[in-house]
Copies of this chain bind each other. A is one copy, B any other.
Amino acid sequence: MQFHHHGYVSTDPRIQEVAGCGIDRPAEIPEEVDVLIVGTGPAGMILGAQLSQFPDITTRIVEKRPERLAIGQADGVACRSVETFQAFGFADDLIREAYRITESVFWGPDPHDRNNLVRTARTKDDPHGISEFPHLICNQARVQDKFAEVMENSPTRMTPDFGLKFVDLTVADEGDYPVTVTLNRTAGEREGDDLTVRAKYVVGCDGARSNVRRSIGRTLDGDSADHAWGVMDILAVTDFPDIRTKGLITSNEGGNILLIPREGGHLFRLYVDLGVMSGKDSAAIRQTTPEESIAIAQRIFHPYTLDVKHVAWYSVYEVGQRVTDHFDDVPNDMIGRRTPRVFITGDACHTHSAKAGQGMNVSMQDGFNLGWKLASVLRGLAPESLLDTYSGERQPVAQKLIDFDKEWSRMMGAKPMDPEHPELGGVDPEEFQNFYVQTFDFIMGFSTEYELAPLTASADHQNLAGGFPLGRRFHSAPVVRVSDANPIHLGHHATADGRWRIYAFADTRVPGGKSAVADWADWMAEAAESPVNRYTPEGAETDAVFDVKVVYQGDHTEFDAIDAPEIFLPRRTPFDLIDYEKVFATDPSDDIFDARGIDRSGAVVVVRPDMYVSAVVPLSEPDKLAAYFDTIMLPQTAAAPAHA
């Protein structure tokens, strides 16, 4: 965290200085906004938190409920989400509060007495150490609260506009605010009143029954029937030995329960499978009472007891595996010829079972993918075409998720195979466990791979940094900050501020003398084609758009930060102070060059504002770096060198 650069500010440094539209922010939603977000679920809140960082963008987020969500809905927080929370500054807070999954257990019929229940397997979470962040369980409400804090502490002092329901919208062909939205007040003195807001962009984060989706004529396609679960957050006394471990319990009759221990040490969630809502039964299934769900759970837990003392939350969650073919308002025949004005995210464009805990996580990545793109376009840094890439990148992710979820649900819902009667079918517990381990990376959110050119560059130079695969999230690794000898996780200093990260991995142990990294740094600072010079708005700080960092191969004791080229030592207004936090050495106990397969001749790794690796180029070919940004960014000034 960096602060105090214009003097000491005696408050929580997470409270940013108010600026732009945060100054005298109107309590009432204005008639014209840059971005209108509909819905305060995980997708809407991450998007709001992202856009709230920009004082020059007016963003409002409306929610039909009169107040914040208090409890319920999703609770699985994948490692990739926790990485993302780090960028928003609250990973630690949530880790402290949440339940942490380190193992999962599987219980099934005892081979010796199939009416008895035994632990059939125990698997480690994150068996390959894919992330330094944990896999958590925490109420969706608290995750949303954290994003609300980020918004409120942002320069724009944004807070959700509760009690406003989206009704409909129309998109005009031109005008500064082409989307006209009708909202309706659901609370307060003027309850029932309509109001109209005009926006540059509208984002539907309004869940599975999205009206924004309907208003742009898109549909969720897929299964005809929904699957239903009785979901309950309960306090209970039980002699089941693994009640504080995530578990799948499958009884001989085939009924199954997903057990999710929850934050705080006592609460836990049970997903009781209620089956497919086919035709005439569906009304009855929908009516399943907590008592009925508990009774089913008790049968499955048998011979263990389950004495439920308190039901904190209960819901029959019914959902089908469905996905929309396109995530914005551009008609299929106009794609590439018109840019979008309305987007849909999260459950509004894909729904699937709750069993793999993807609901909140994938929705947040939708919002995170869209946020920086909207900001870049609105701030004049990127062309509107960048907005096409949102659907282009996220729709295939959703499609993959649906395919995965079908397989996953089949496995999770299947009767366990009786080894003495394999002819009766069912899934072999071992096969199940293997599937679980193999798909861990997917479930944790790490198999997303954006392939869309030109946003993801060609893989010509991937060999220079094999551990930073193109299109995948930047996998952080330890380094040592030279100026203060602090051990640092390189990626943890990438905040959700809409900036690009350019990591120069040096070809030398230390700065000084002639080297590829020195030449590259000079080019970055001086050349007209350098992205820093070409795309940084006039008057902005050198690193306003590109956060350029360097990692030398030596130990931090071998050199001084101040000897690094000036591009790595940007100045801070108003006092022209030197920023010393961009010069790194390797951590001798875990050399990043080895850990991430970086060539000793050096490499430049470009990471998008949403933390995905988008280009790997040689230090010695800066033109390739320049070329990468050609179609993605808009030139700002008559290419004056940054340090004239």
Q: Does A209 touch B at the CB level, under 8 Å?
A: no
Contact A245 B485, beta carbon cutoff 8 Å: yes
Decide yes or no whether A221 CB sits under 8 A from chain B.
Answer: no
Q: Does A292 contact B (CB under 8 A)?
A: no
- Expressed in whole angstroms, the Cα–Cα distance for A577 and B262 within the complex equals 14
Asked if residues B103 and A235 are in contact (CB atoms below 8 Å), the reply is: no
Partner of A237, one of B4, B245, B262, B577: B577
**Partner-contacting stretch, out of A18-26, A309-317, A510-518:** A309-317
Q: How far is the CA of A317 from the CA of B76 in the complex (A)?
A: 53
Interchain nearest-CB distance for A52 vs B (Å): 20
Report the minimal beta-carbon distance from A398 to chain B, rounded to whole angstroms.
Answer: 30
Check A265 for interface membership: any CB of B closer than 8 A. yes
CB of A561 closer than 8 Å to a CB of B: yes
A4 to B262, CA, bound (A): 9
User: Counting CB contacts under 8 A, is A214 at the interface?
Assistant: no
Bound-state CA distance A575–B78 (Å) is: 31
Query: Is the Cβ of B8 less than 8 Å from the Cβ of A312?
Result: yes
Chain B residues positioned under 8 Å from A579 (CB to CB): 265-266
Whole-angstrom distance from the CB of A558 to the nearest CB of chain B? 12
Asked if A1 and B97 make an inter-chain contact with CB atoms under 8 angstroms apart, the answer reads yes
Give A542 Cβ to nearest chain B Cβ, in Å. Answer: 15
A575–B236 CA distance with the chains assembled, in angstroms: 8
Q: Name the one of B266, B562, B572 contacting A266, with C-beta atoms under 8 angstroms.
A: B572
A264-B562 in contact given A92-B96, A235-B5 (Cβ < 8 Å): no
> In the complex, are the beta carbons of A562 and B241 less than 8 A apart?
yes
Q: In the complex, A139 Cα to B572 Cα: how many Å? A: 22
Query: Chain B nearest CB: distance from A347 CB in Å?
Result: 21
Complex CA–CA separation, A414 to B139 (angstroms): 59
Please give, as numbers and ranges, the residues of chain B lying within 8 Å of A404 by CB-CB distance.
none
CB <8 Å contact, A263 and B483:
no
Measured between beta carbons, the chain B residues less than 8 angstroms from A466 are none
Contact between chains at B3 and A312 (CB < 8 Å) = no
Instruction: Let me know if A99 is at the binding interface, CB within 8 A.
Output: yes
Can you name the residue of chain B whose Cβ is closest to the Cβ of A488?
B100
By a CB distance below 8 angstroms, the chain B residues around A233 are 8
Shortest distance from the beta carbon of A165 to any chain B beta carbon, whole Å:
23
Chain A 575-614 against B: per-residue CB contact (8 Å), 1 yes, 0 no?
1111111000000000000000000000000000000000
Inter-chain contacts of A92 with B (CB < 8 A): 92-93, 96
* Chain B residues positioned under 8 Å from A266 (CB to CB): 2-5, 572, 577, 579
Query: Distance (Å) between the CB of A126 and the closest chain B CB?
Result: 12
Docked CA distance A487–B244 (Å): 14
Q: Nearest CB to that of A149 among chain B residues? A: B12
* A262 / chain B contacts, CB cutoff of 8 Å: 4
Cβ contacts under 8 Å, A417 to chain B = none
Contacts of A310 in B (CB 8 A): 6-7, 575
Judged by a CB distance under 8 angstroms, whether A208 is at the interface is: no
On whether the beta carbons of A264 and B2 are closer than 8 Å, the reply is yes
Chain B CB within 8 A of A71 CB: yes
Contacts beyond the supplied A4-B266, A102-B485: 17 A-B pairs with Cβ under 8 Å = A1-B263, A4-B263, A4-B265, A4-B267, A8-B139, A13-B97, A13-B263, A100-B484, A235-B575, A237-B575, A237-B577, A243-B483, A243-B580, A244-B580, A265-B581, A309-B575, A309-B576
**5 A-B pairs closest in CB distance:** A4-B264, A309-B575, A8-B312, A244-B483, A241-B560
Of the A-B pairs whose beta carbons lie under 8 Å apart in the complex, a sample of 6, sorted by A's number, is A2-B264, A4-B267, A6-B310, A7-B310, A244-B561, A265-B581
